[in-house]
Chain A
Amino acid sequence: MEITIAKVILAAVTTKKNQHLVAGIPVFYAETDEEMIKMATILSRVLEAVAHDMENGVYIIVKH
């Protein structure tokens, strides 16, 4: 059986520059909500993944 990685967080996009200093995945910082949405859209299209809203100003891009 082929083993693939499914359900993995590929990136995070956030407007909270100061609070989320995490390592491990690429984190993209946006100035405004509009910019965050735009970045999340582009990332999800390019990575063929889905953007999910953590409801705290962080979007995660998840490969399903």
Chain B
Amino acid sequence: MEKDILTIICGVAMGTVARYWMMRRDFRQYPSYPHATVTHLALGFVAATLGAVAIPAIAAKEYTAVTFLALAATQFRDVRNMEREMLSALEQSKLVSRGPDFIEGIARTFEARNYLVVFVSLTTSLFAFIFSPLAGILAGVFAMLLVRRFMRGYLVRDVAKVRPAKVHFNGPNLFVEDIHIMNIALPEIKKIYEERGRGVIIEPLNDNGREILANVGQRQAIAHDTAMLLGVHRDVDTAEFTPLVRRKLDTGRVGLVIVPIEPDIECIVEAVKNVPVLESAFVKPLQAKVGRSAAD
């Protein structure tokens, strides 16, 4: 009995620590504000408990206890819904929206991280039960590192080349190099674009990159992250200054135009490079024979 308790404690502790470790408190500041952190830590604790009790339950020949894990799946799907609903509701008050693809990606990540917590606590409790609590903790740390590696996705820098580009007007039409962005009538707005507008060209490295950048949600994510990092010169009544990302149909190249508060072009390029490639946008046409033979 004491062994069971010790096993469960090890599993729960490692799982909860894993959840805390997985929270990325970087510039996105999400979910770092105190209450969201508490919510997710609590859910992580629940997940860790579910994972930790599975091994002692099986050892006690309580096989039905494993159906617990089914409960976990339902529980975590709710986490995804909760995040999606909240982020979608907050979308209206953002000057540059995240876009549904980005939100879905975030929501999916929150769900997946709970499963990863179950994995960590299950591994910990398995080793703690068979060998010793110390072995369990070591196995838990190893599982965490594995999870960390597994979590890492691609960034825009992995699929495309990003470079600064010239913003110019041809009549009322705004261009970034040869990519048409939009039509602007008012001279006052044009003047601001000419003085403070910054352009970036994102060139896909191959056909996979081309298709990723073709995704509208991916492009919205690029606009959102760049605007958030460098600030955006707009308010609700100046829709003209919404950063836009448009595609050159002939080549698949993508152009971004933004009027940032901080006009530092190197930082804009860096910001674009570090935008995550969204799961929903991630495709690999080059994996297919047709895609490979068409790419020449």
Q: Is B70 an interface residue, CB under 8 A from the partner?
A: no
Q: Is A11 an interface residue, CB under 8 A from the partner?
A: no
Query: Given the complex, which residues of B lie within 8 Å of A15, measured CB to CB?
Result: none
Q: How far is the CA of A59 from the CA of B182 in the complex (A)?
A: 14
Q: How far is the CA of A8 from the CA of B220 in the complex (A)?
A: 21
Q: Is A53 an interface residue, CB under 8 A from the partner?
A: yes
Q: Give B185 Cβ to nearest chain A Cβ, in Å.
A: 4
The size class of the interface chain A forms with chain B is: 10 to 19
Q: Give A51 Cβ to nearest chain B Cβ, in Å.
A: 4
Q: Is B240 an interface residue, CB under 8 A from the partner?
A: yes
B interface: dominant SS = loop
Q: Are A52 and B183 in contact (CB under 8 A)?
A: yes
Q: Give B181 Cβ to nearest chain A Cβ, in Å.
A: 12
Interface size on B, residues (CB 8 A): 15
Q: Are B186 and A51 in contact (CB under 8 A)?
A: yes
Query: Given the complex, which residues of B lie within 8 Å of A45, measured CB to CB?
Result: 237-238
Q: Which residues of chain B in 236-276 are interfacial with respect to chain A, using CB atoms and an 8 Å cutoff? A: 236-240, 242
Query: Given the complex, which residues of A lie within 8 Å of B172, measured CB to CB?
Result: 52-53, 55
Closest to B172 in A: A53
Q: How far is the CA of A64 from the CA of B185 in the complex (A)?
A: 15
Q: List 7 A-B contacts (CB under 8 A).
A: A44-B239, A48-B236, A50-B182, A50-B239, A52-B183, A52-B185, A53-B172
Pairs of residues from A and B, 10 with the lowest C-beta to C-beta distance, nearest first: A53-B172, A53-B185, A51-B185, A52-B183, A59-B185, A45-B237, A50-B239, A48-B237, A51-B186, A50-B240
Interface residues of B (CB under 8 A from A): 171-172, 182-188, 236-240, 242
